Amino acid sequence: MARENLKEKAYRIIKRKIVNCEYSPESFLTEAELMREIGTSRTPIREALNKLEQESLIRIIPKKGVIVGAITIREINDVYQIRELVEPYIIRTWGNKLSTETLTAFKEKLVDLADSSEKESYEMDDSLHRCIISVCENKYLVELMEKSYDQNHRIRIISGRLHSRLERSTREHINILNLLIARDMEGAAQAMSAHLESAKQAAVESFFQLK
The reported pLDDT for the residue numbered 1 is 45
Are 203 and 107 in a shared domain? yes
- Strands (DSSP E) contained in the chain are 28-29, 58-61, 65-68
Question: Residue 118, Cβ neighbours under 10 Å: how many?
Answer: 12
Are 86 and 60 in a shared domain? no
The reported pLDDT for the residue numbered 115 is 62
The reported pLDDT for the residue numbered 163 is 55
Are 64 and 16 in a shared domain? yes
Average confidence (pLDDT) per 10 residues, the chain, 211 residues: 74 93 92 92 93 93 89 92 97 97 94 71 88 96 93 80 70 96 98 95 80 56
Listed residues 68, 91, 117: the one ending a domain: 68
Q: How far apart are the first and last CA of the chain?
A: 47
The reported pLDDT for the residue numbered 67 is 95
The residue range of the domain holding 192 is 73-209
Give the global pTM: 0.81
